[in-house]
A and B are shown apart, each in its own frame.
Chain A
């Protein structure tokens, strides 16, 4: 039960934190259409997070709600991967982070449709439609930036180089991953890694970008050990429920 709960939280936390990062950019997009499109992706992700938290809260059985899990857990309780929490340094970083996450989510949810857990399989079927579109958008932006001007190419290469060290963690098996794989509910992260590498290399090639070599990797998010950025996100995101615990609309 504990590993099922943690498995659900991994999916929910990834979606919530990435969604929050995208939402931070609302009203700051490079132009109106892109601003709306980014917010749109954030809304898809918050929908996913909401379903997962809701289901996870029922599992815990202490009368908690999904909101409690999102707004009343501490930094070390969050099990999202570090890539999702990396900041919006510039548009190239936003696009690159999204592309790397979308590629992971696409193959991950594709595999999860086969899960023996009916809830996970249903969520995966629903998500795959959204993620297919997200991946199409972010792949095209990678190519557009990579083959655009000198400056756009330089910035997107810099973003790839900066974010690459967080990608290994996506495929690192946590205790929850291993337990869920063993009972037929989870997915083979090694297989996802092969598919992820193939897609990412294809898009980097089309974008005229270089894939970083011999980089060290940073991990820990899935164990609750985060980069300095998550604390800031949570401070902002959890401020209202922290200050006014029973506030309602």
Chain B
């Protein structure tokens, strides 16, 4: 039997730890199709009660900012202090802002 290096496509795995909470990226897996992907994700990342929700997304479908683009993507925000609503006086009873 030849040792195939074909392990399927790469998929990204997201877990929701409690109902209502946001899904968080936890890692990636290999799989051959959607069913295979969600099952491999389940067997690798949720065996110890880590979650109540599970997403898998083909890694190739994720649109990401390239490292060399980060200058003009993110840095313009750093010196615009007026974009944060920090100049308002909040009423006393308001705690979650």
Q: Using CB atoms and an 8 Å cutoff, list the residues of chain A in contact with chain B.
A: 30-34, 36-37, 40, 90, 136-137, 140, 144
Q: Evaluate whether A140 and B31 lie within 8 angstroms (CB atoms) in the complex, with A31-B8, A33-B44, A36-B43 already known.
A: no
Asked whether B33 lies within 8 Å of A37 as measured between CB atoms, the reply is no
Q: Using CB atoms and an 8 Å cutoff, list the residues of chain B in contact with chain A.
A: 1, 4, 7-8, 29-33, 35-36, 39-40, 43-44, 47
Asked whether B30 lies within 8 Å of A137 as measured between CB atoms, the reply is no
B79 to chain A, nearest CB (A): 45
Asked whether A144 lies within 8 Å of B7 as measured between CB atoms, the reply is no
Asked whether A37 lies within 8 Å of B30 as measured between CB atoms, the reply is no
Asked whether B29 lies within 8 Å of A33 as measured between CB atoms, the reply is yes
Asked whether B36 lies within 8 Å of A144 as measured between CB atoms, the reply is yes
Closest to A40 in B: B43
Pick from A36, A137, A144: contact of B44, CB under 8 Å: A36
B1 to chain A, nearest CB (A): 7
Asked whether B30 lies within 8 Å of A90 as measured between CB atoms, the reply is no
Determine the chain A residues whose CB is within 8 A of the CB of B47 once the complex forms. 40
Determine the chain A residues whose CB is within 8 A of the CB of B7 once the complex forms. 30-33
Closest to A31 in B: B7
Determine the chain A residues whose CB is within 8 A of the CB of B33 once the complex forms. 144
Determine the chain B residues whose CB is within 8 A of the CB of A40 once the complex forms. 43, 47
User: Secondary structure of the B side of the interface?
Assistant: mixed
Asked whether B4 lies within 8 Å of A37 as measured between CB atoms, the reply is no
User: Secondary structure of the A side of the interface?
Assistant: helix
Determine the chain A residues whose CB is within 8 A of the CB of B43 once the complex forms. 33, 36-37, 40
User: A30 to B31, alpha carbons, bound, how many Å?
Assistant: 12
Asked whether A140 lies within 8 Å of B30 as measured between CB atoms, the reply is no
B15 to chain A, nearest CB (A): 16
A8 to chain B, nearest CB (A): 27
B28 to chain A, nearest CB (A): 10
User: A36 to B33, alpha carbons, bound, how many Å?
Assistant: 17
Determine the chain B residues whose CB is within 8 A of the CB of A31 once the complex forms. 7-8, 30
Query: Can you pick out 10 interface pairs between chain A and chain B where the beta carbons lie within 8 Å of each other?
Result: A30-B7, A31-B7, A31-B8, A34-B40, A36-B43, A40-B47, A136-B39, A137-B39, A144-B32, A144-B36
Determine the chain A residues whose CB is within 8 A of the CB of B8 once the complex forms. 31
Closest to B30 in A: A33
Given A90-B1, A140-B39, 19 more A-B residue pairs with CB atoms under 8 Å apart are: A30-B4, A30-B7, A31-B7, A32-B30, A33-B29, A33-B30, A33-B31, A33-B43, A33-B44, A34-B40, A36-B43, A36-B44, A37-B39, A37-B44, A40-B43, A140-B35, A140-B36, A144-B32, A144-B33
